Chain A
Amino acid sequence: MSDELYDELILDHYESPYHRGQLESPSCTHTEWNPLCGDRVQLQLQIDSERRIQQAYFDGEGCAISQAAASILCEHIEGKTMEEIEGFGAPEMLELLQVRLTATRQRCGLLGFKVLKTLVYSDDGPTGGSP
């Protein structure tokens, strides 16, 4: 864990994000805002028949932390099954960022994660019961 908030990893992802943009036909899409600072993160997932995330793309605008964290998240979840994602918690997400975040900045760092969890557990999401 680095005390330097704008660590190399964060800056690398902020500068050259992994899979920033839109999927042509995503299996699911969701967007969340942080109303206090206006950060926005959209997540799009391409999920195959075995419920494995083939591709994860994010889009949005906001501070370096929210955008870099979303990029790091996309890289991390590709290739994982939705079952694996269900067991993926906030502490692990914060661990992935490799920097220590204050309570205020955790909201930025966890914005993409919040979108992911909404996708996993929402009714119309990929694990929902509806046909």
Chain B
Amino acid sequence: MESIRNDFPILGRPMADGTPLVYLDSASSAQKPRVVIDALSECYETYYANAHRGVYQFGVKIDEALEGARERIARMIGAERPEEVIFTSGTTMSINLVAQAWGRSRLSEGDEVLVNEMEHHANLVPWQQVTRQTGATLRHIPLTDDGRLDLGRLDECLGSRTRLVAVTGMSNVLGTINPIGRLVEAARAVGAVVLVDGAQSVPHAAVDVSNPQVDFLAFSGHKLYGPSGVGVLYGRREWLEQMDPFLFGGNMISEVGLTESSWAELPAKFEAGTLPVAQAIALGTAVDYVDGIGFDEIGRIERALLAEAQQRLSEIPDLLVHGPAVEHKGAIVSFSDQRVHPHDMAELLKRKGVAVRAGHHCTMPLHSRLGVPATTRASFAPYNDSSDIDVLVDGIQYARKTLRRD
């Protein structure tokens, strides 16, 4: 896919020693296409101002651009109205917002929040905190040995006490794509709401919050080829209207007296302080960019890369690829090489220009379940191609040879 690759300036720049870059860390953060970089520059160079404050010319233009981005994002995820899209700093803040603004006043002793063993710390720790604050109980859906939610045991942990189910759309380590439809159905049956952590899933497959109907969807701009510092919380209007604000200050108020205040309408109620304005606008450009390629095409490219990477890595002796079979996962391949520690692997792959991540990837409970302290993770995006997998596989052999373990 030479044309997609060419859209990303950084991928054409060799490393300091001249080695071409093989970027396999998009699950951590995706690279940026030229149009997104240009949208940021254009904003700062030609019409930047704070949002919702200036009546001067730039003030009007920036508001139009910001609300335009909100509308495009709302359309992409199938939100009924743009004001159901709240700009945040990223997935972590979006989930914290729900945990505190929804959970703090609604949970009490005897209530349960249901998560699972594969969650990123960002969709685990906020729930640990709010259940501790409210006396509610945190429960976990167990995993199967191949790294999927064990739905056969869902009845053991989901029941009339369950108030909220928080689940990732796609595991950031195993790549597992979770059956959101089935979870929504099960949650509805007991009157629980559903939050989906879309940090990994939103950039890779079309999402429609109305089918299956989720209550909250959190995701980040920077994994969707947009700028860092901006993310989204989608919330169903009825919830957002009922919820108290999460952060307090400027922009989120209707009227302020010396001793009390009233809250602004949506979405401003949840957007206290100055937003990452330019980043949010450029995220709108990123959404257009992704739309231009299309999720069908993105899925086609990534499925091919995943199948090839999974196959070729599985053929290497003493190397274990974690997670389920390719039909149950997205384009992430995390592995344990019995001969080379992940830290050494990442260091030695670096010499071949390969950027992968080594560590626990913010999923310590999952790594305990896998029985390893750390893994090496290669993750793919539509700008990768088959030659990147060649370099990765050669790099693994090089690492083994360097450590005299071949």
Contacts and interface: CB of A to CB of B under 8 A. Distances in A.
A5 B404 CA distance: 14
Given A37-B343, A37-B373, A39-B373, 8 more contacts: A11-B404, A14-B404, A38-B360, A38-B373, A62-B343, A64-B344, A65-B344, A108-B343
Main secondary structure, interface of A, reads mixed
Contacts of B347: 5, 105
Contacts of B404: 11, 14-15
A14 B373 CA distance: 19
A88 interface: no
A61 B344 CA distance: 13
10 contacts: A6-B344, A6-B348, A11-B403, A11-B404, A36-B360, A37-B374, A38-B367, A38-B372, A63-B343, A64-B344
Contacts of B373: 37-40
B398 to A, nearest CB: 11
Contacts of A6: 344, 348, 402-403
A64 B402 CA distance: 11
Contact of A64 (B358, B367, B374, B403): B403
A62 B404 CA distance: 16
Interface of A: 5-6, 11, 14-15, 36-40, 61-65, 105, 108
A36 B372 CA distance: 12
A88 to B, nearest CB: 25
A130 to B, nearest CB: 33
A105 B341 CA distance: 13
B197 to A, nearest CB: 23
A63 B360 contact: no
B68 interface: no
By size class, the interface of chain B is: 10 to 19
Interface string B377-406: 000000000000000000000000011100
B299 interface: no
**Which 4 A-B pairs give the minimum distances between C-beta atoms?**
A38-B373, A63-B343, A63-B341, A38-B374
B359 interface: yes
Interface in B342-380: 342-344, 347-348, 358-360, 367, 372-374
Contacts of A5: 347
B358 A37 contact: yes
A12 to B, nearest CB: 9
B359 to A, nearest CB: 6
Contacts of B372: 38
Contacts of B343: 37, 39, 62-63, 65, 108
Contacts of B358: 37
Nearest to A10: B403
A37 B359 contact: yes
Contacts of A39: 343, 373
Contacts of A15: 404
